[in-house]
Amino acid sequence: MGSGVLRAHRAANALFDPAFPFPDVPYRVRRGYHPGGDAADSLLLEDFINPTGTSSYGLPNTTGGTLSVEHTALSGHDPSLSGAWIHDVVAGSSTFFQSNWSSVGTGFDLTGYDTLDLRADRSWGSDPTEASFLVELVNADDTRSSAVAIDEFLELGPPPRGGTTLPAARIPLSSFSGATLASVRGVRLTFTTPLDGNSLYLANIRATRVTTEALAASGQLASVASSAAPPASRARAAGTTLPEQRRIVAGNAIQSVRSSGADAVEITLTSAEFFDLRATNLVLTVGTERSIAARHPNGDLNTVQFLLPRAAFDRLGAQEPVTVDYGPGSSVVWDFGHLDKTALAP
């Protein structure tokens, strides 16, 4: 293989590396990445391999506020992969999980590394709103760096089709002002905003070097990067123009509105243009209420049935607009006119 071809292949590695921007595309791409190599390129900080409450270096981890943390095998991944299930989270400024790698007064030297890497994903839930939490480095003297919001580096919307993929965030260590990088003893995650379902999964916390050749020296590290976020998120970060949204108005119908038990309403919608399967979930919006609890009866992609909580249905006005799309930045939206609440059948 000629050297020119080899260089081209190495440059293409930036497509996989969440430290670099992803080309503008009208759909979500989740990226997981590890630079490989030994501790010189990737220093293990926390892999959740010890019993719950104990860090990978045998020290007690700490928590604050109301939340539960369990070390567990992660369903749908290699059986050897362990992670933390953080659940029953009551959001607040004092609600946190802290992984401790070193005792107070000592710390790891991270000055030879470029990024703090971690993998995270929401558990299944019905709210399409992106979740977030704050990340801080803990210095040897137990002071903490500035807080970095994870949603600048990792999109935490509902996992595609309900399956956790654990995309990776690569946060430049330079983002943590006030960090004493020569002596860092831990990392703290603070949950100041609610999580849908009150839980998320966390794995593989590392200090890493950016090893993608040529680009590593170019300063092209991205802010919103680890999953090519939907176009709306990218545009917010980069100030770019969104691709034009296609609105489908013909051939759409609200087929039925029925009670589904005492606690939900089933809304069945049909369209002449089928609802194509994507990595992101379909989102029903009726007025200000939303749902991603959807199914295609008998596999019919021209029909979709959503479940809307009865309490949400009761909050609706008599005539509310109805649309279906793929969430924030969706390149297509189906318009179904207005929902007549009096059409509700038992």
pLDDT digits (tens, 9 = 90+) for 106-139: 999 999 999 999 999 887 766 677 788 999 999 9
Q: Encode pLDDT of 181-191 as tens digits.
A: 999 999 999 99
Q: What is the pLDDT of residues 193-223, one digit of tens each?
A: 888 777 899 999 999 988 765 444 444 444 4
Q: Domains for the chain: give ranges and CATH numbers.
A: 3-232 (2.60.120.260), 246-343 (2.60.40)
Q: What is the DSSP string of 59-90?
A: PBPEEESEEEEEEEEPTTS-TT-EEEEEEEEE
**DSSP structural state of residue 316:** S
Contact 71, 52 (CB under 8 A): yes
Across the range 43-51, mean pLDDT stands at: 94
The answer to whether 61 and 312 have CB atoms below 8 angstroms apart is: no
Instruction: Calculate the CA dihedral of residues 157, 159, 162, 163 and round it to 10 degrees.
Output: -170
- Considering the entire predicted model, what is its pTM? 0.62
Alpha carbon distance 346, 344 (integer Å): 7
CA neighbor of 171 nearest in space, from 186, 195, 151, 185: 151
Among 57-61, 161-165, 183-187, the range scoring the smallest mean pLDDT is 161-165
Residue of 288, 248, 287, 295 lying closest to 267 (CA atoms): 295
- Who has greater pLDDT, 74 or 264? 264
d(CA 18, CA 308): 35
